[in-house]
């Protein structure tokens, strides 16, 4: 599997180390990368034996099987359609881009025409299999998520007191906290949609880890799940599990037996 990577931050570096250096994806390699910081990109390319591209269009047109986005919502909005139209599969890390209904429908249609597929990692949460099962017969009634993070992970949060930073729908949350609440969008896509998924974001100076508490009800019964994540080193905004879920997508993409 020939992989192109967009993004040289924590998740991108984790994938480069895991795949190109540690060999955790047999038969797969990140063969090229793009990141806005070209000085950093050249260093990454040298360290991890890959090719650096100075623009995304060149990366898209290169000989790839799949592109991994580990950058920003705007990258997905600007280049997602072009990647898929080229026939390449796309792994989307910034799943918040799919909260836009029109954008979602557009890239869905492009996939039908090109035969490409979009892969959405589960990110820093669990329970998606339960929501998808209940949704399959239209008997999912409510879904909510409460996210609790240390103040340094949330822009504008007070340093010395707990505070509810947001309460509303997932669609609203992703616009205000695009780097913090992608989990609400993947939850909504598995369940009731961004407008019907309730989100609460709490800044808590007493915690050191990111936690996500999910509640759901339906004909299946009730779901109550809390995931407490260690943040990635040097970046409290990103949960380590989010990076692991991207690697999991790649490892299971061509599996002949799939679970869930």
Task: Indicate the length of the chain as a whole number.
Answer: 260
What does DSSP assign to residue 99?
G
In angstroms, the Cα distances linking 116 to 90, 185, 198, 248 are 8, 21, 31, 19
Is 212 catalytic? The answer is yes
- Please state the φ and ψ torsions of residue 134, each to the nearest 5 degrees: -70, -40
* The one catalytic residue among 88, 149, 212, 237: 212
Decide if 68 contacts 6 (C-beta within 8 A). Answer: yes
Residues contacting residue 185 through CB under 8 Å, at least 6 positions apart: 95, 96, 98, 99, 170, 174, 194
> Which positions are annotated as active-site residues?
212
């Amino acid at each position: 599997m020939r992989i192109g990577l967009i993004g040289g931050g924590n998740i991108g570096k984790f994938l480069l180390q895991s795949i190109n250096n540690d060999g955790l994806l047999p038969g797969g390699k990140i063969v090229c990368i793009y990141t806005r910081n070209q000085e950093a990109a050249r260093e990454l390319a040298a360290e991890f034996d890959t090719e650096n591209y100075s623009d995304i269009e060149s990366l898209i047109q290169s000989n790839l099987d799949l592109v991994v986005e580990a950058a920003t919502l705007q990258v997905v909005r600007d280049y997602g359609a072009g990647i898929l139209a080229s026939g390449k599969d796309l792994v989307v890390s910034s799943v918040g881009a799919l909260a836009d209904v029109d954008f979602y429908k557009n890239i869905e249609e492009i996939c039908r025409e090109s035969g490409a597929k979009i892969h959405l990692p589960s990110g820093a949460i669990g329970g998606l299999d339960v929501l998808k099962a209940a949704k399959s017969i239209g008997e999912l009634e409510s879904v909510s998520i409460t996210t609790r993070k240390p103040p340094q992970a949330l822009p504008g949060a007070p340093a010395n007191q707990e505070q509810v930073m947001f309460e509303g729908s997932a669609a609203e949350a992703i616009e205000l906290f695009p780097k913090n609440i992608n989990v609400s969008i993947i939850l909504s896509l598995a369940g009731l949609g961004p407008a019907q998924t309730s989100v609460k974001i709490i800044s808590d100076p007493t915690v050191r880890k990111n936690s996500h508490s999910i509640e759901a009800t339906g004909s299946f019964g009730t779901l109550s799940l809390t995931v407490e994540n260690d943040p990635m080193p040097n970046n409290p905004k990103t949960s380590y599990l989010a990076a692991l879920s991207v690697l999991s997508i790649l490892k299971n993409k061509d599996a002949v037996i799939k679970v869930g």
